[in-house]
Structure 1
Amino acid sequence: MALSLSILYRGPLSSCNYACGYCPFAKRRESYADLAADREALSRFVGWVEARSGDRLSVFFTPWGEALTRRWYREVLVRLTNLPNVERAAIQTNLSCRLDWAARCDPAKLAIWATYHPGEVAREAFLGRCRELASLGIRHGVGVVGLKEHMDEIEALRRELPEDVYLWVNAYKREPDYYDEAALRFLEAIDPLFPVNNRRHPSLGRSCRTGHSVIAVDGSGTIRRCHFVPEVIGNLYEPGFESALVERPCPAPTCSCHIGYVHLDHLGLAEVFGGGILERIPEQPIWRR
């Protein structure tokens, strides 16, 4: 039986060219052997996708660090978006790479989750990359971490982005009561879904699409229901892995990351995001100037 499946792929790559203070992978470098292992794992995964010609697959790359500075990730997006069995190929990125490769992608299938990092890149340079994506007809959403010292940059970014580009804000949750009421109102005006992100959602025993129609896969093919539940439920490269794809309630007390809680049924976010659920772009505009 043909599958309809979204796969969150995170290979062994764990390096980044940026130095954000809150990130454990900032300015981290890997050996040639580590990079070769990542490239080999990615090639195996894409070969698997190509072989599943009867399925309907969507792939979302969620690397630890920045992947698009690596040629093999750029080439994989070209390959995936030109496969008839792939409905969407999306990736999280800081947009620091060149974008000429994207012209060889099917723009109807490629989607970019782009994050702006004030202090690591000039705003105008980042916006220039966004304009380049728009000129290629590629769907993209833009995000930023809601640090208090970046409030002016967040406001400027919203003002300078095209009105049809969604700007989401990731809440900074490492400090309790980090935001005062004025900051909460300000950020909700920028991103109406900020209050949803700024909490830990009770999830224990709740219905969630992860493990059934959405799975997380690592470089060895190990399948988990999502990135936040360590239990292994199968391996993508073993015959009969499909038997592990069953509905199961969430075993975690709470879920606080967008790529996890967006799949909790009771939150109704599948209806909000629709076909843009992987790249974090709502189906209909929900933001305002």
Structure 2
Amino acid sequence: MTSDPVPWEWEFDWHLTNRCNFLCEYCHPQIRYVLNKVHLTEPSPELVVRRFEDLGHPCLVHMSGGEPFLFPGFADLCAGLTRKNWISINTNLASPELVADFAAKVDPTRVAKIVAALHVPERERLGLPLETYAKSFRILRAAGFDVVSLYVLYPPLLSRLREDLAVLAGLGVEPLRAKVFKGVHEGRRYPEAYTDKQRRLILANSGEYVFNQPYLDGMLAFRGQSCTAGMTSFKVTVTGEVRRCASVPTAYGNLYDGTFRPAQSAEPCPARRVLVLSQCLAYLVDPPKAAAAPAATEAQA
């Protein structure tokens, strides 16, 4: 999450629940049409905390879904994980009571980042005013959490981007970042399909989100380059299976049942196209020189 030295040794990108109170049109198809329609029984917070503590390495656990705050006992889960580890969260910030419970129970110094993804069309469809989002955002910031708003640059939203950003700023939602859309819209694959005019608009309104430029430049594959994913960074699925990363399904056992074992050495990346560029830039043994400085990890939206 930072270019400064960090206290953790391993990082986990954990899809901890399929539950979600949103059904965003631009959600990744596997999540929108498959995962979020099958609500598996989640493990208990106590089991997950024990499994991470048993690893013997201080960890940073990135939590996404689904909507993390809908994991049963989420605040207790976070309070337990942060006894010996650190967490980061990607949330739609649409559960005000649960956000308040979290803010009261969890130590903000053990939370590396909270990315509050702003899904304007879905909020409008559900009748959820931006004021409630902003209130939860302000509660977290007042409690000492490092929280940032994230606006997904879905192509139909670009015409209203500046207006939306101005409204959010007026509600005290700062900092705010805008992130390129990755996927297919009207038969065109993005981010490649953004026009030159759209690219200029995106780069002018990205805020501190440093990965839009590499995405727009076509930095979407690192096949054959040595990477520590699977060795010190991992993807955990909703069933507890540990994989190399979001782009490569190589398996290393199961976190929940205690069979997880990491790779012993860095291996070349086999992916033809990566899903989370920022993770690649953080975990490549020899990342591209122009991108080596921002050693940050992007929470998935």
What band does the TM-score fall into relative to the shorter chain? Answer: 0.7 to 0.9
1:57-136 maps to which residues of 2 (within 5 A)? 57-63=59-65, 65-81=66-82, 83=83, 85-86=84-85, 88-98=86-96, 99-101=99-101, 102-110=103-111, 111-121=113-123, 122-136=129-143
Task: Write the distance in 2 (CA, Å) between the matches of 1:69 and 1:153.
Answer: 30
Aligned amino acid, residue 79 of structure 1: G
Query: What secondary structure, in the 3-state scheme, does the structure 1 residue paired with 2:271 have?
Result: coil
Per-residue deviation, 1:105: 0.8
Aligned amino acid, residue 248 of structure 1: E
Query: What secondary structure, in the 3-state scheme, does the structure 2 residue paired with 1:39 have?
Result: coil
Task: Write the distance in 2 (CA, Å) between the matches of 1:260 and 1:139.
Answer: 20
Aligned amino acid, residue 147 of structure 1: Y
Task: Label 1:68 to 1:258 Cα distance change in 2 as closer, same or farther (>3 A).
Answer: farther
Aligned amino acid, residue 250 of structure 2: E
Residue 150 of structure 2 contacts residue 177 of structure 2 at CA under 8 Å; is this kept in 1? yes
Question: Does 1:150 find its partner at 2:157?
Answer: yes
Query: Counterpart in 2 of 1:6?
Result: 11
Q: TM-score, with normalisation over the residues of structure 1?
A: 0.78
Query: What secondary structure, in the 3-state scheme, does the structure 2 residue paired with 1:129 have?
Result: helix
Question: Does 1:165 find its partner at 2:148?
Answer: no
Query: What secondary structure, in the 3-state scheme, does the structure 2 residue paired with 1:76 have?
Result: helix
Per-residue deviation, 1:273: 4.1
Q: What is the root-mean-square deviation of aligned Cα atoms in Å?
A: 2.9
Query: What secondary structure, in the 3-state scheme, does the structure 2 residue paired with 1:61 have?
Result: strand
Per-residue deviation, 1:112: 1.1
Matched residue count: 264
Query: Counterpart in 2 of 1:286?
Result: none
Query: What secondary structure, in the 3-state scheme, does the structure 1 residue paired with 2:42 have?
Result: helix
Q: TM-score, with normalisation over the residues of structure 2?
A: 0.75
Query: What secondary structure, in the 3-state scheme, does the structure 1 residue paired with 2:70 have?
Result: coil
After superposition, the C-alpha distances for 1:3-27 in whole angstroms (9 at most, x for unaligned) are 821111224x323211212234559
Per-residue deviation, 1:157: 4.3
Aligned amino acid, residue 214 of structure 1: S
Per-residue deviation, 1:154: 2.9
Query: Counterpart in 2 of 1:287?
Result: none
Query: Counterpart in 1 of 2:22?
Result: 18
Query: What secondary structure, in the 3-state scheme, does the structure 1 residue paired with 2:122 have?
Result: coil
Task: Label 1:190 to 1:132 Cα distance change in 2 as closer, same or farther (>3 A).
Answer: same
Residue 77 of structure 1 contacts residue 89 of structure 1 at CA under 8 Å; is this kept in 2? yes
